[in-house]
Amino acid sequence: MLLRTSLRSFFAHKGRMALSLIAVVLSVAFVSGTLVFSNTATSTFSKLFAATASDISVQPPKPADDEEPQAGDKPATVPAPLAQQVASVPGVKTAIGQVMVGNAILVNPATNKLVGPTSGAPTLVGNWTDTPRNPVKITSGHVPQNSGELVLDADTAKKAGLGIGDKVRVDNATGQHPYTIAGIATFTTTNPGAALAFLDTATAQQVLLGEQAYTSVEAFGDGSRSNDRLKADTLAELGSRYQVKTAAEQKADNTKAIGSGLDFMKYAMLGFAGISLIVGGFLIINTFSMLVAQRTREIGLLRAIGGSRRQVNGSVLVEALILGVLGSTLGVAVGLGVAVGLIKLMNAIGMDLKASDLEVGPDVFVAGYAVGILITVVAAWIPARRASRIAPMAALRDHGTPAEARSNLVRTVLGVLLTGGGAGLLVLAGTADRAGTGGQLLGLGLLLTLIGFVVLGPLLATVVIKVLGALLPALFGPSGKLAQRNAMRNPRRTGATAAALMIGLALVIGSSVFSSSAVSSASVQIDRSVGVDYIISGGQAPVTAEMMDAVKRTPGIDHVTTQENLLRTKVQLPGGQNARTDLTAVPASFFGSDFHPTVSSGAMDSIGRGSLGIGETFAEDHGLKVGDRVTVDYGKGRTQTLPVGVVFQKGGLLGDGSFVGLDALAQVVPAAEQPPVWTFFAKAAPGADVGRTLTALQEALQQYPQLTVKDQAGYKELVQSQVNTLLYLIYGLVGLSITVAVLGVVNTLALSVVERTREIGLLRAIGISRRQLRRMIRLESVVIALFGAVLGTGLGLAWGVTAQRVLRDQGLGTLSVPTTTVVVTLVSSVVIGLVAALVPAFRAGRMNVLAAIATD
């Protein structure tokens, strides 16, 4: 009986159910799509790893716990004789020395263009080996047979338009090495997107490692022993100096590495899901509130003739359940589409996943249905509970909203507490000394202010719309007045409708304040403290001396400046305790004319004279001051004790890292073991034309396609575009939430029009024209949208400004409020309102006057 009533009611309200359904479907689709995608990716890769992993792999010793591997360090190796040693372990059939490095690039010498992926996936160069589980096999040509031959993978060759006989160059820190393509190798498994190039073993060792060694030894058993046994025996044979990994362990390692790469995608997608879930929740709450409101009399009657609260609740919940199940089912189906889309996206950036291998585990259904049904039922339960609490007579007495006064008080108190608390946290965050604490406070404050605004929404609706709407009668006459009154009529509904929009717009404004502050801070810092004119940064392979020479020789260049980065270097403080800092070794000329960051204490040029430069925050954290002596540990037992010569002010372009002179470094670390250069700088000669010199530089560096040359303006643009990448993701999120919010506005208006059928009939009877009527509805819609936009803008500005305050010492020193974005946001909210009103206004205009009057 209950089910039948619910079903009938559900289908009677197909239209508005459809809108809620879209919200559920979107949320579920994102959740399940993400899961399917990451399941598929993980399973594809684990299949790949399972197919190619050796039985045991002997790898170089793990770096000691306190020694971080340095990016660009020479690859760690195992000595060549180790291969024979491993081969002699009982049960090992073959042991093959493998060379595989990621610090070289491939260049097409004919065009000077990079061969292989330019971002994301790596380019790997190694030696050709005949392992029983080779991921590639030669499909044309032959294996590299001499020091001039190279084998390239088929996908990369195809993309670069290269074939057998063409030339390819391998560039790395030791220089440029020309080869001829002797063979093309095709992946026998899924291509994970990497570019692979193979040399013969001797050449690979010489060119890629500079020594007779391997990066690992891969051993394959004869089947007589388990891998674990092999591992134990190998360890016994070699001692525990090397890492020995079974196939399973290798697979786990690799999966973890790929997994962390996919994590970003996954979290971004889950972000989408979360947003559509929250916003969709509002939509569902509103839909059911209105369904319940329309049925208030019916419910009153039901209660008057003795229906229990539970029965009333039950009928609404069953409807929600139907919606949830239907929405989840559709959502999971759409989610498959989302997953296929993501796979296509990955294909575009070179990762070769196959849509036909979709991996739909039970977790997809569990998560999809759980999310869809839960959100729907919870969202419907709120208005249902409200409805069942209405006293029967009040419900019968027409649109009664009883207990309003009390719940209003509760709401006000709660809302003010939340918003006030959140605002307090934001203020605390903005004034916090440490960015870490500030960030936590910001996060909490953000959440509290958001919830606070949602709770206060209905109250604010009355106040804000009274103010906002005061203009309407003046501007739009009677339509304006009616629109304003209608928008204030049901503040709770207006509040909930606007809240969905508010969330999206708050995100837009907040993130654009953040990003424009980031861009203008960087630009202010560059203007203030950068003296060099060009920044030249390398790609996957480090910068070589030839490159720097090429720059030096370019007409118009005065000099070049380098820097060598030693990440997370261990230093011992005067008190004996240890700390880590990102240390950069720079030439004596670095500070002064090339870079002149603001100094907190000490003298900048002391670095050139053998002192250490440190950041203000580091100094404060460890109680360091100019003159204190610090021992730097460069690893391998090389240490050096240096006095602190200068403390740089926080918030500068150089961050909180430390600086040491290259001369000082050279005293303890031989040149060959110093870290490579990844980025260097050049200064134009006095009087040289900066623009023309840039062109000259680009020409001079043509044969090094991995280098990018930027002048200061170009660098600022680069910062801007990096920030924008982040911004686009956020905008994608926001676009989605706004779409759902628009559905919400449409929903609210459509239901309002239905609810007010008689009023509309009356208005038409006493002579309101269709145009005036449509305008009334459009204006109501615009008022709701603007209300949401105003709240969102306020919230977003508060968030953005706080974020900037929190990060003021982390390179976000300059606050910049993007007024254009704010204006565009407000204007587009008007457009959103107009668009949302299209259908409801049209339907109201078309309503038959007599039928409208006759409705009861």
Partner 1 sequence: MTTAAAVYDPQLPGGPSAVAATARQVTKAYGSGETRVTALDAVDVDIQRGRFTAIMGPSGSGKSTLMHCLAGLDTVSSGRIWIGDTEITGLRDKQLTRLRRDKIGFIFQAFNLLPTLNALENITLPMDIAGRRPDQAWLDQVVETVGLAGRLKHRPTQLSGGQQQRVAVARALAARPEIIFGDEPTGNLDSRAGAEVLTFLRRSVDELGQTMVMVTHDPVAAGYADRVLFLADGVIVDEMHAPTADSVLERMRRFDGKRTS
Reduced to 3 states (helix: H, G, I; strand: E, B; else coil), residue 271 is: helix
Nearer to partner 1, 133 or 489 (CB): 489
Decide if 533 contacts 684 (C-beta within 8 A): yes
Residues within the interface to partner 1 (CB under 8 A):
477-478, 481-482, 485-486, 488-489, 758-759, 762-770, 772, 849-850, 853
R_g (Cα) of the chain, nearest Å:
34
The alpha helices in 770-818, defined as continuous H runs, are 770-806
Task: Pick between residue 811 and residue 845 the one whose CB is nearest to partner 1.
Answer: 845
Q: How far is the CB of 712 from partner 1 (least distance, A)?
A: 60
Helix (H, G, I), strand (E, B) or coil at 853: helix
CA dist., res. 792 & res. 112, Å (int): 50
Residue 771: CB minimum distance to partner 1, A: 9
Cβ-count burial 402-416 (b if 16+ within 10 Å, e if not): eeeeeeeeebeeebe
Min. distance of Cβ 473 from partner 1 in angstroms?
A: 9
Residue type, 565: N
Q: Which is nearer to partner 1, 479 or 565 (CB)?
A: 479
Burial of residue 489 (CB within 10 Å: 0-12, 13-18, 19+) is middle
> Which CB sits closer to partner 1, 671 or 766?
766
Cβ 715 to partner 1 shortest distance, Å:
58
> Please, what is the minimum distance in Å from the beta carbon of residue 779 to partner 1?
13
Residue 443 vs 478, nearer CB to partner 1: 478
Q: At its nearest, how many Å lie between partner 1 and the CB of residue 730?
A: 39
Q: Which is nearer to partner 1, 225 or 489 (CB)?
A: 489
Q: Which two tokens stand for residue 692?
A: 């023309």
Give the CA distances from residue 289 to residues 14, 267, 282, 397, 845, in Å, rounded to whole numbers and listed in that order. 16, 32, 10, 18, 25
Which among 633, 665, 585 is positioned nearest to 66, based on CA atoms? 633
Report CA 531 to chain centroid distance, whole Å. Answer: 33
| Nearer residue to partner 1 within complex by CB, 163 or 478 | 478
712 and 573 in contact (C-beta within 8 Å)? Answer: no
Task: Please report the DSSP string for 499-518 in residue order.
Answer: HHHHHHHHHHHHHHHHHHHH
Residues contacting residue 278 through CB under 8 Å, at least 6 positions apart = 503, 737
Question: Phi-psi region for residue 141, left (φ > 0), alpha (ψ -120 to 50) or beta?
Answer: left
**Would you say 250 or 772 has its CB closer to partner 1?**
772
Query: Which residue number, 511 or 772, has a Cβ lying nearer to partner 1?
Result: 772
Q: Work out how close the CB of 761 gets to partner 1 at its nearest, in angstroms, rounded to a whole number.
A: 9
Q: How far is the CB of 477 from partner 1 (least distance, A)?
A: 6
- Structural tokens at position 532: 């060099």
Give whichever of 399 and 528 is closer to partner 1, judged by the CB atom.
399
In three-state secondary structure terms, 195 is strand
User: Minimum Å distance from CB 463 to partner 1?
Assistant: 17
* Contacts for 116 with CB less than 8 Å, ≥ 6 apart: 105, 106, 123, 156, 160, 194, 195
What is the SS3 string spanning 144-175?
CCCCCEEEEEHHHHHHHCCCCCCEEEEEECCE
Q: How far is the CB of 397 from partner 1 (least distance, A)?
A: 10
Minimum CB distance to partner 1, residue 759 (Å): 6
The length of the chain is 856
For partner 1, the closer CB: 461 or 482: 482
